[in-house]
Amino acid sequence: MRPPLERQEAERLVETYSDLVLRLSYSYLNQTQDAQDICQTVFLKLLERAPDFVSSDHEKAWIIRTTANTCKDLLKSHWRRTTVAMEAASHIPAPELEEGSLSAAVNLLPPKYRAVIYLYYYEGYAAKEIAELLGQSPALVSTHLARARAKLRQRLEGSCYDG
């Protein structure tokens, strides 16, 4: 068994990747609390396993892959499929995105499309890199990107999309 990570190294990893993990988790789950739970789980896995990374790219890829897989596990879990939706707390107002905004349109996409849109546009990964990170074929990632763009274009036509 590997020794646990040094405190300084653990803090560096959290500072470096917590925003990425939260945003990617949110793109899958569309719920802040679930994204925070995933973030905590990913960093616990990192601390427990203390993998040896050959480069910063390998480190980041491990974080992204672990985040994506943890989100997928949550989405297909029995608990997730059998719990009641948040309508029970509907009396508590939540901030809403401006209707017709790009962020609102992206949040309406299915999780598989939100994830690739986030990694492509916000993190700057190429389709081939996203495929490696998510364990998918490059063709599937390209298809998801094309379909996501088409859905966004359709939703945004007449509001803020001109082309």
CB 108 within 8 A of CB 155: yes
Q: For the chain, give the mean pLDDT.
A: 83
| % of the chain with per-residue pLDDT over 70 | 79
**pLDDT above 80: residue 99:** no
CA angle 97, 98, 100 (to 5 degrees): 115
Beta bridge partners of 161: 157
Give residue-wise pLDDT tens across range 42-51. Answer: 999 988 887 8
Give residue-wise pLDDT tens across range 83-98. Answer: 655 555 555 555 555 6
**Collapsing DSSP states into helix, strand and coil, what is residue 126?**
coil
Q: For position 130, what pLDDT does the model report?
A: 92
Q: Mean pLDDT across the stretch 42-67?
A: 90
Q: For position 86, what pLDDT does the model report?
A: 56
Q: Please enumerate in sequence order all residues whose Cβ is within 8 A of that of 23, keeping only pairs 6 or more positions apart, or say none.
A: 35, 118, 122
> Shortest CA distance to 59 belongs to which of 81, 76, 43?
43
Give residue-wise pLDDT tens across range 101-158. Answer: 777 788 888 988 999 998 998 888 999 999 999 999 999 999 999 999 999 888 887 5
Q: For position 26, what pLDDT does the model report?
A: 94
Q: For position 93, what pLDDT does the model report?
A: 58
